Amino acid sequence: LKLGEFELIDRLLKPLARGFPGALELEDDAALVPCAAGQEIVVAKDAIVAGVHYLPDDPADLVAGKLLRVNLSDLAAMGAEPVGYLTAFAVPRDLDQGYLAELVQGLARDQAAFGLHLLGGDTVTTSGPLVLTLTILGRVEAGTALRRSGARPGDLVMVSGTLGDAALGLRVLRGLAATEDETWFVVDRYRTPRPRLALGTRLRGMATAAIDVSDGLLADLGHILDASGVGAEIEAARLPLSTEALGLPRAVEAALSGGDDYELLFTLPPAELERCLVRAAEANVPVTVIGSITAEKGLVVRDASGAPMPTETLGWQHF
Amino acid sequence: LKLGEFELIDRLLKPLARGFPGALELEDDAALVPCAAGQEIVVAKDAIVAGVHYLPDDPADLVAGKLLRVNLSDLAAMGAEPVGYLTAFAVPRDLDQGYLAELVQGLARDQAAFGLHLLGGDTVTTSGPLVLTLTILGRVEAGTALRRSGARPGDLVMVSGTLGDAALGLRVLRGLAATEDETWFVVDRYRTPRPRLALGTRLRGMATAAIDVSDGLLADLGHILDASGVGAEIEAARLPLSTEALGLPRAVEAALSGGDDYELLFTLPPAELERCLVRAAEANVPVTVIGSITAEKGLVVRDASGAPMPTETLGWQHF
């Protein structure tokens, strides 16, 4: 990239800051985010690398959109509302200008969809693959953020939407045979997560623990169990599977250990179930009870006959 | 890097979050930053790439420390106080573990020196060079942040510390001959910027515009002039040069166009000069008047005889 091309990126990025006065049109050293008494700022950061976290022929606008959506999902898991985001791109010198423009188009579309703005950005060159990092800022009423650590024995384990679709989408992109409808649905689920923001904010004061399913149900439930010092029993037959996933091989395994679904996994006192179902309907997101929290540590998954499944072989590793 | 090595990084990073309750021990999806009524959160983000922004044999702890200090300098330029930071590292698979440990040691030392904590981090692998990105959060009384856009004709142009040292330090590292004392001083200035936080907070309500000198005096003053819609005249003979810089060739050129000094460049109504000198003395930072703001746009640098110098040849480009 030559200097002129950095100016191009600047020109592309600046419109994304319009509408948020504290972004200062990206002209200053930093952005200003208003604080209200009784609120907390919620902040998270993620990085993705070409060839590691996305496929070379994933459309650039969807890659950038997914990075934003994955960070929005972190806010959803805390019950927070989005405020804005910052980007840092390390760009190969020979990267096509059109690719960068598509990345920015993806951010533009998705920031409009979720009502937030760009607050700052940095673009540098690298001799390696494209590295995209994004920092998201949200806000939440002080003391009400959902955490991983509050699950108690007897709580229901619940999940939004359907599980396993994204992992199956990745397998289809890698060659797994599927119908046209199945392909469209599961690939879209892999490429375009739906951060459950409307559900997350409604779970505050109700869910005892929450996380988003990024590493896979078992891994992410494991994080809640570790943080809360409890165990859980899950019934595989209760896992919410899409019609499309059910048409594909090893859908239950994908639902248990596949990553990238970005559904909310949360725990709830049984007395709150009715209220939770009402609030989830308001948010237009289906939720399903898939098990319960136990005092005894460890995670047991039971098959339809009630027999424990061998979960060790179902773990999913990023690397 | 294998999974175990990511766990190592996690182990190294978690202690950096201790002492900031809202970091949630890096165990949750995001961190929580308290808001106080009447304050704004100040946020900035930077990325650096091995081989582009630092030299291969720069010590890792100083590389990480510089990344933190450069971001702190962005807060200083806004008159903000530091709160915390997040990191995202894209790490080559064959990077030495000891190098990562040194990076983290540099962050640990400098976060202690400047009184802030790690709020979150993400570590991913890359097939390319090491990419380090850092997001910094600070806070400032609402409406008082220093900006680039307030310079008015008649204002003094002022700068903290000395200029040109860092650029000379880079030239010494690349082979420029220098005495031992000169080498030690200018290389330290290149590797270890001193973010002028104490000065920045004291300039609020007094300076009309401010920026930190990262790209070089002329380039950064240009940013203030553009944002403020004014011009400036600078006297080269007034530029504050260190004794060490004066011993090296082309020191005035380095002071005008060299980057990386991370001093504060600001504009001040003449009536505020005495108060400014008192506050700078409180902050223990020397400040120097180097010129004044003009209604006529453009930037004129005069030599000791009063003749304009050809500034076009003095510009400094990142790429």
Is the pLDDT at A5 greater than 70? The verdict is: no
Taking residue B56's Cβ as centre, other Cβ atoms within 10 Å add up to: 7
Contact with chain B for residue A225, Cβ under 8 A: no
Poorest-confidence range of A126-135, A205-214, A307-316, B20-29? A307-316
Position of tokens 């860092």?
Answer: B166
pLDDT digits (tens, 9 = 90+) for B102-120: 999 999 999 999 999 999 9
Report the pLDDT value the prediction gives residue A57, as an integer from 0 to 100.
83
Poorest-confidence range of A4-8, A30-34, B91-95, B313-317? B313-317
For A:100-139, CB contacts with B below 8 A are: 119-129, 131, 133, 135-139
Is the pLDDT at A317 greater than 60? The verdict is: no
Is the pLDDT at A300 greater than 70? The verdict is: yes
Nearest-CB residue to B133 (from A31, A133, A138): A133
Which percentage of chain A shows pLDDT scores above 90? 84
Report the pLDDT value the prediction gives residue B314, as an integer from 0 to 100.
59
Kindly report the nearest CA distance between residue B50 and chain A, in angstroms: 8
Kindly report the nearest CA distance between residue B302 and chain A, in angstroms: 28
Band the pLDDT of B4: cuts 50, 70, 90: low
A90 and B131 within 8 Å at the Cβ level: the answer is yes
Band the pLDDT of A29: cuts 50, 70, 90: confident
Q: Which residues of A147-173 are buried (b: 16+ CB within 10 A; e: fewer)?
A: bbbbbeeebbbbbbbbbbbbbbbbbbb
Band the pLDDT of A319: cuts 50, 70, 90: very low
Is the pLDDT at B261 greater than 70? The verdict is: yes
* A74 vs B contacts (CB less than 8 Å): 29-30
Complex ipTM value = 0.91
Band the pLDDT of A1: cuts 50, 70, 90: very low
pLDDT digits (tens, 9 = 90+) for B171-194: 999 999 999 999 999 999 999 999
Kindly report the nearest CA distance between residue B175 and chain A, in angstroms: 24
pLDDT digits (tens, 9 = 90+) for A209-227: 999 999 999 999 999 999 9
Is the pLDDT at B11 greater than 50? The verdict is: yes
Report the pLDDT value the prediction gives residue B316, as an integer from 0 to 100.
40
Give the pLDDT mean for A153-158. Answer: 98
pLDDT digits (tens, 9 = 90+) for A93-142: 888 888 989 999 999 999 999 999 999 988 899 999 999 999 999 999 99
Q: Considering the entire predicted model, what is its pTM?
A: 0.93
For A:62-81, CB contacts with B below 8 A are: 74-75, 77-78, 80
